[in-house]
Amino acid sequence: MKKRIVIFGDSNTWGYDAKSGGRFNEEIRWPMVAAKILGDRYRVCEEGLCGRTTCLDDPFNEGLSGLNYLLPCLQSHSPLDMLVIMLGTNDCKERFSLTGANIALGMRRLVIKALGADVWRDKPNILIIAPGPILKECENSAVGSNMGRCSDKSYKLSMEYKFVADELKVGFFDAAPYVVMNDIDFMHLTADSHIALAKKVSEIIKETLENKEVKI
């Protein structure tokens, strides 16, 4: 049976293309590129949603709390071998008034829920990904009126997520050294960054599920 992986994220997992305003195709979106790299022994379930938060209900958009959707999502794809979570960018919106440490508590709730879910084929394997930070230029871009002051706290997520991963004994990966944000809205990955992220995450998935030493 194929090893099943859920990749759970926001618009940078869904594949938002800031240049076109549409969606990158499957040859670019990082979960689908990772699936291709991993090959026929793996089944990657792509679960990205634009605007998704860790655990927050957005007052202007319905259904964006990752916490509310996580369990049915995992159940629908079970039995699972691994869960990859890359969230937090939308939690940085000024209207939520959170610190980096607050956002990490949202990630912590997600991981705890996933660890306790009856969806695992063998044992829970979870990887937290700290997303690439939102560049300061985003606040003065076309999306700045929606995002507000969001950049500074996004740079705190890597450190705070690492604390959560260490506490809960799950995997952690900082995407920042491997990705670049576009020069239009300064918060979404470039096409090249999707490819780079896919290569690294697929390596971590394979090493984790084949019981090899993971080098991050």
Closest CA to 89 of 120, 59, 129: 129
Rounded-to-integer distance, Cα 202 and Cα 13, Å: 14
User: Is 200 inside any structural domain?
Assistant: yes
In the chain, the amino acid numbered 61 is N
User: Is 17 inside any structural domain?
Assistant: yes
What is the predicted pLDDT for the residue at 19? 94
> 100-115 vs 66-77: helix axis angle to the nearest 10?
30
> 191-209 vs 30-38: helix axis angle to the nearest 10?
40
User: Is 134 inside any structural domain?
Assistant: yes
Give the chain's domain count: 1
CATH number at residue 170: 3.40.50.1110
User: Is 216 inside any structural domain?
Assistant: no
User: Is 148 inside any structural domain?
Assistant: yes
DSSP state of 1: -
What is the extent of the structural domain holding 158? 3-209
Rounded-to-integer distance, Cα 189 and Cα 86, Å: 13
Tokens 């859920």: give the residue: 6
User: Is 214 inside any structural domain?
Assistant: no
User: Is 33 inside any structural domain?
Assistant: yes
DSSP state of 65: B
What is the predicted pLDDT for the residue at 20? 96
What is the predicted pLDDT for the residue at 214? 44
What is the predicted pLDDT for the residue at 1? 87
What is the predicted pLDDT for the residue at 211? 72
Helical ranges in the chain per DSSP H: 11-14, 30-38, 66-77, 100-115, 144-147, 151-154, 157-168, 191-209
Rounded-to-integer distance, Cα 175 and Cα 89, Å: 12
Could you state, in chain order, the average pLDDT of each consecutive group of 10 residues for the chain (216 residues)?
97 97 98 98 98 97 98 98 98 98 98 98 97 98 96 98 98 98 98 98 97 49
User: Is 215 inside any structural domain?
Assistant: no
Contact between residue 42 and residue 36 where contact means Cβ atoms under 8 Å apart: no
Q: Calculate the CA dihedral of residues 180, 139, 52, 171 and round it to 10 degrees.
A: 40
For the beta carbon of residue 47, count every other beta carbon within 10 angstroms: 23
What is the predicted pLDDT for the residue at 131? 98
pTM equals 0.96
Closest CA to 9 of 28, 26, 31, 27: 31
Contact between residue 94 and residue 150 where contact means Cβ atoms under 8 Å apart: yes
For 43, 61, 141, 216, the CA distances from 175, given in Å and listed in that order, are: 22, 27, 23, 10
